[in-house]
Chain A
Amino acid sequence: MDVLTLSRIQFGATIAFHYLYPPLSIGLGLILVIMEGLWLKTGNDLYHQMARFWTRVFALTFAIGVATGIVMEFEFGTNWASYSRFVGDVFGSALAAEGIFAFFLESGFLAVLLFGWEKVGRKLHFFSTCMVALGAHFSAVWIVVANSWMQTPAGYHIVGEGLKARAEVTDFWQVVFNPSSVERLLHTVCGAWCAGAFLVVSVSAWYLLKQRHVAFARASLKVGLLVALGASLLQGFTGHVSAQGVAKNQPAKLAAFEGLYQTTSNAPLVIAGWVDEKNERTVGLTMPYLLSFLAHNDFHAPVTGLDAFKPADRPPVTASFIFFHGMVGIGFALIGVALLGVWCLYRGNLNQSRWLLWLLVFSVLGPQLANQLGWFAAEVGRQPWLVYGVMRTPEGLSAVVKANVVLTSLILFTVIYFLLFSVFVFLLNDKIQHGPDDADLTPAGKLAWPEHKTH
């Protein structure tokens, strides 16, 4: 394999593995804030127990997220040096801002969140939890801004020629608020909330199935399901807004998502099907007019097809189609699962339906898969560009790095990440089997309630 393919595999594999964890940190971060907030508001120590248990799970996902995240930052320079030189002026600022505003906030207050339970008062601890969650959300802001700039570059100009050419900032706020950054950020964060919420839902449902820690599981399930419902509904909405942005800003990508070869008015939406690349058509179950409506709010509007682009400028169609449809399908399924769960919770018969509890147990895989597919769709759909319309992917490679060296590091990472993943699963299972700590039902140290409030 050539150095381009190997570098793309390595970046794709390391980012996909990394991206299992940050959404969990972001989603669990929000849920920790809710749980600890409920504890402070209601004084019910069950919420304290919940916050403590989920903090331990959070710590696990956070640790692996940091360790695999450093790799990502280094890989821009190691494998994509020409890209780094070209975009450093624009992209680097976002990365530096991420370090200063997000990572320090997150990792600093994490110390208090994890180890400060009995060292600081309740309010300061809650403040730290909020700061950790805020830091996790900030980190999403800056990295999505940087990636969105690669999708829809704005606020820059090209200086220099040939090998010395590079993008320089002309307007920082246009870089930050480039045409796709806000909608993509919202979509990414909702996906992260889903990941955290469905993890809580899954573990709680499992406890209910096994009749363990029932009070804890019921209360956790309630918080988890409500966040899951809110997040998955918002996810559908932000997804729609995001897709309209793609239709406007990256028509080739939208055409590939939908397998639309000919520019069509009254374009139909493909619900499920496959792409026949040889004959340049897409076969399957379609809904007439719907794509035109979804993309442009008009049943008759023309939607740009792949025929508007030279073959060299088209993204891989089958892959984009599958990733996009997979993501959307799972997204709708998650809304269904969350609605069903909340409905049964409201009716009070959730405990009786074991099949639903089992469904909830497995629902944790949904957001993870959809998040991965969504990013695959976003990145594959951008091809053959590294920076859309500005720089092609092969142009971004490091000039001095050879294929055998990349192969070596790829093998190294594959081994380490397999090890890491098995250890993660082992420890997560360990924490789940161990369950919440009953000692947490009576907060100690500085967290203890004043005497008159204890019951």
Chain B
Amino acid sequence: MHPDLNSIWFVLVGVLFTGYAMLDGFDLGIGALHLFTRTDQERRVMLNAIGPVWDGNEVWLVTGGGALFAAFPNVYATAFSGFYLALMLLLASLIFRAVAIEFRSKRPELWWRRMWDVSFAGGSILSSLLIGTALGNLAWGVPIDAQGEFAGTFLGLLTPYPLLVGITTLALFMMHGAIYGVMKTEDKLHDQLRVWAMRCIIFFVICAVTLSMSTLLYVPHMAVRVREHPWLFTVALANMLAIANIPREFHHGRDGRAFVSSCAAIITLMALFALNLYPNMIYSLPNPENSLTIYNAASSPKTLGIMLIIACIGIPVVVAYTVSIYWIFRGKVKMDRMSY
């Protein structure tokens, strides 16, 4: 990598989306596990585990989208207009999810709570699948014409490989969410979540192995960089070690460290994805020459420079208070009058 502005912004956009996957990932995972819990009390604990932070977590997606728009407007325009229906579904499920969290606790009636439980779980599962499937399509490649416009169809996006990435993402978020849940809960629910976390790890590992094999067999361009630079294989190795570390931390009762391992697993996965995609942003299949890259799809160097200044001022501040807020709300969930 040459440290030019375009590459820096490729990394920064990647950091924002990785931040989203790491933070909103556990929110979505908690949502996907929501219907497995039985009692109302347990469901409230699950919701309140993410209560103070889910809103801020979703902002990573908004800011990632904004940064993509600003730094790579052609990618933003092509991907968003090309994936139109998929994105509308994603928006609908994110809205349902957000509203469900907010509204579930406001009325005591059973039908009311059931309705929002289903919205919360359904919205979380669908969002995870859609996000993963979109990533899968970017890895597989999408048809792009000479004008840089998307030349495929909605159904053309739902092929086996992208769907496999979608399911893997769901598994990853469920694992991440379960581990977060273990960290935030006590007693019976805590033990139960630990069992689920172990099952989710198995589910995820099966998906990840299948995905790795299919990538090597069917999507060779997504392994080129690692093949050319064998030392990058350490990233894949770090990913597997991070996953393997989770049961070990559980065994020693260090739930916080298990969560950190899970975060590391997400970071390494995103890094592998980005390393192999670079310098493309949208890989064009079957005409690779039409691919949108960090050079032909970017804003002017002046804008990238201005935004780098904005990012340098803004991101440290954001990280500082995000960490403080997680610190204020550390520890197990305690319910009070303001809880969901």
Residues of A within 8 A of B (CB): 59-60, 62-64, 66-71, 73-74, 76-79, 81-82, 84-85, 87-93, 95-101, 103-105, 107-112, 114-120, 159, 163, 166, 168-170, 172, 398-401, 405, 408-409, 412-413, 416, 420, 423, 427, 430, 437, 439
Q: Which residues of B contact A400 (CB under 8 A)?
A: 81-82, 84, 149-151
User: In the bound complex, how far is the Cα of B62 from the Cα of A101, in angstroms?
Assistant: 12
- Asked if B69 and A95 sit within 8 Å, CB to CB, the answer is yes
- Asked if A78 and B87 sit within 8 Å, CB to CB, the answer is yes
- Asked if B77 and A437 sit within 8 Å, CB to CB, the answer is no
Q: Which residues of A contact B79 (CB under 8 A)?
A: 77
**CB < 8 Å: which of A62, A88, A105, A115 contacts B329?**
A115
Q: Which residues of B contact A59 (CB under 8 A)?
A: 102
Nearest residue, chain B, Cβ from A172: B306
Q: Which of B62, B72, B76 has the most CB of A within 10 A?
A: B62
- Asked if A408 and B85 sit within 8 Å, CB to CB, the answer is yes
- Asked if A119 and B302 sit within 8 Å, CB to CB, the answer is no
User: In the bound complex, how far is the Cα of B71 from the Cα of A70, in angstroms?
Assistant: 18
B91 within 8 A of A: yes
Q: Which residues of A contact B74 (CB under 8 A)?
A: 85, 88
Q: Which residues of B contact A96 (CB under 8 A)?
A: 63, 66-67, 69-71, 307, 310
Interface residue range, chain B: 35 or more
Apart from the given pairs A67-B94, A92-B303, A103-B62, 16 other A-B contacts in the complex at a CB distance below 8 Å = A63-B99, A69-B62, A77-B69, A78-B81, A84-B73, A88-B73, A93-B70, A96-B63, A96-B70, A99-B59, A99-B63, A99-B66, A104-B56, A104-B321, A108-B318, A430-B107
- Asked if A109 and B315 sit within 8 Å, CB to CB, the answer is no
Q: Which of B88, B107, B151, B299 has the most CB of A within 10 A?
A: B88
Nearest residue, chain B, Cβ from A417: B95
B65 within 8 A of A: yes
- Asked if A88 and B55 sit within 8 Å, CB to CB, the answer is no
- Asked if B338 and A114 sit within 8 Å, CB to CB, the answer is yes
**CB < 8 Å: which of B62, B78, B310, B328 contacts A73?**
B62
Nearest residue, chain B, Cβ from A419: B99
- Asked if B82 and A88 sit within 8 Å, CB to CB, the answer is no
**CB < 8 Å: which of A68, A91, A401, A408 contacts B95?**
A68
Q: Which residues of A contact B315 (CB under 8 A)?
A: 100
Q: Top 10 A-B pairs ranked by shortest CB distance?
A: A88-B73, A77-B80, A92-B70, A99-B63, A100-B314, A111-B52, A398-B81, A81-B77, A81-B81, A92-B69
Residues of B within 8 A of A (CB): 51-53, 55-56, 58-59, 61-63, 65-67, 69-74, 76-82, 84-85, 87-88, 91-92, 94-96, 98-99, 102-103, 106-107, 147, 149-151, 299-300, 302-303, 306-307, 310-311, 314-315, 318, 321-322, 325, 328-329, 336-339
Known interface pairs A66-B98, A74-B87; A93-B321 also in contact (CB < 8 Å): no
23 contacts between A and B (CB under 8 A): A70-B61, A74-B65, A76-B69, A77-B79, A77-B80, A78-B84, A81-B81, A88-B70, A88-B299, A89-B73, A92-B76, A96-B69, A103-B62, A104-B56, A105-B321, A107-B55, A110-B56, A114-B52, A115-B329, A159-B300, A400-B149, A400-B150, A409-B85
User: In the bound complex, how far is the Cα of B9 from the Cα of A131, in angstroms?
Assistant: 28
- Asked if A109 and B66 sit within 8 Å, CB to CB, the answer is no
- Asked if B80 and A99 sit within 8 Å, CB to CB, the answer is no
User: In the bound complex, how far is the Cα of B70 from the Cα of A434, in angstroms?
Assistant: 45
- Asked if B77 and A104 sit within 8 Å, CB to CB, the answer is no
- Asked if A112 and B85 sit within 8 Å, CB to CB, the answer is no
